[in-house]
Amino acid sequence: MTDRAYSLFEEQQGARGINLNEVKAKLKGLSIETPSWGYGDSGTRFKVFQKEGVPRNPFEKFEDAAQVHKLTGLAPSVAIHIPWDKVEDYGKLKSHAESLGLAIGAINPNLFQEDDYMLGSVTNADAAIRRKATDHLLECVDIAKETGSRDISLWFADGTNYPGQGNIRKRKAWMQESLGEMYKALAPNMRMLIEYKCFEPAFYHTDLADWGMAYNLAQKLGPQAEVLVDTGHHLQGANIEHIVAYLIDEKRLGGFHFNSRKYADDDLIVGTVNPYELFLIFYQILSAASDRDEAIQSCVNNIAYMIDQSHNIEAKIPAMLRSVLNVQTQFAKALLVNHEEVEAAANRGDVLAAEHAVRSAFEFDVAPLLRSYREEQGLSVDPMGDYLASSYGKDIAVRGKGGASW
């Protein structure tokens, strides 16, 4: 069925030189990984509110994630966190995921929740603690081999609160030494995605504070190490789409942790605070996708799109639905950019026409397009409405309160 709004939209886009069949084919290529921890209770340092129906174990987290994928077709894999999702038998978790139409995605080591790591994990001045941290990284490589995961996402809370607290240069060497050992353990198809963050939990210096440090480390480690951009991990005013374009050009953009921020690493639902930023990130990615250099194309095709959010007050499954739908909406809008038009305007020095060519794509309402796409794919046309009308949210209430949390 093509409704009138869609026919009009198709006509409008045709006149701008945008073919909706091509747009729809690209929409089909979008997959967004959701994080197991986004289905559990999480909070701020002040309070973790316990919600009814929260998964009690990793198996139930996958059951909830399956709802998101079933309704949207967007979220076929789930990242897990070790030890939050530690199980006896990862083969069993993998089969459970597969029986639900899902795969286990990135493995996230946890080097920030033990007393031993108070003064650092892989950068701790105590060699025994560095050994312990490196062993955990190696354990995660083994888990990734069992789960068939390609990516291991690395985030370190390592840093200091005061000048003099740690030797910054020694810590840099220790980080490289530990990650070098981990790198050697990777299977040829595996990747290390290195996350950076400007501050928090450490407030004076962070060992991997920005994309340049993560990039430099990745380069020293080798081609299987790439940079992971968490959209909440920059200082105010940072131009994230510039970082994205730069890293793609260096073939070192491994993936994203999507979320929204207004102040710090707020980890709010992606696309709620600054959807234009997300659109501009996709605009950069899509403009690189048509580069003649195959290495750039391959970098773009292997970007891992992942959500990293903390659902403190919102219902978890609807929050995750909102998140993946928001990403899809901005991706769809970015697919409406006419790159030749932008380039032609830029080449003749017409600043306003170039800016207009980018922004006008953002200003279209893509609801008719997404409705038509979902219908064609046999997906729910209204994923959020269908979820809320289903009994799933009520059925899981039998799990009670006090489910998984960090």
Q: Report the interface residues with ligand AOS, using CB under 6 A.
A: 37, 81, 108, 155, 195, 197, 230, 257, 265, 308
In sequence order, which ranges of 335-405 are alpha helices (DSSP H)?
339-347, 351-363, 367-376, 383-389, 392-395
Q: Which is nearer to Zn ion, 10 or 267 (CB)?
A: 267
Indicate whether 230 belongs to the interface with Zn ion (CB under 5 A). yes
CB of 10 to Zn ion, least distance (A): 37
The binder of 151, among ligand AOS, Zn ion, none, by C-beta within 5 to 8 A per type, is none
Name the residue among 208, 210, 301, 290 with its Cα closest to residue 251.
301
The binder of 37, among ligand AOS, Zn ion, none, by C-beta within 5 to 8 A per type, is ligand AOS
CB of 267 to ligand AOS, least distance (A): 7
CB of 343 to Zn ion, least distance (A): 33
Q: Which is nearer to Zn ion, 51 or 257 (CB)?
A: 257
Q: Which is nearer to ligand AOS, 79 or 332 (CB)?
A: 79
CB of 355 to ligand AOS, least distance (A): 32
Asked whether the beta carbons of 158 and 200 are under 8 A apart, the reply is no
Dig out the tokens for 386 from the structure. Answer: 């269908």
Q: Which is nearer to ligand AOS, 257 or 371 (CB)?
A: 257
Q: Residue 138 has what DSSP assignment?
A: H
Query: With contacts defined by CB under 5 A, how many residues of the chain interact with Zn ion?
Result: 7
Q: Which is nearer to Zn ion, 260 or 372 (CB)?
A: 260
Question: Which residue of 61, 96, 171, 257 would you call a contact of Zn ion, by CB under 5 A?
Answer: 257
What's the one-letter identity of residue 373?
A: Y
Q: CA distances (Å), 113 to each of 46, 83, 84, 116, 203, in order?
A: 16, 10, 10, 9, 17
Indicate whether 64 belongs to the interface with Zn ion (CB under 5 A). no
**Residue 228 in 3-state DSSP?**
strand
CB of 110 to ligand AOS, least distance (A): 7
Q: CA distances (Å), 278 to each of 74, 257, 318, in order?
A: 17, 12, 20
Tell me which residues in 296-355 interact with Zn ion (CB under 5 A).
Answer: 308
CB of 265 to ligand AOS, least distance (A): 5
Taking phi over 0 as left and psi of -120 to 50 as alpha, with beta for the rest, 237 belongs to left
Asked whether the beta carbons of 253 and 247 are under 8 A apart, the reply is yes
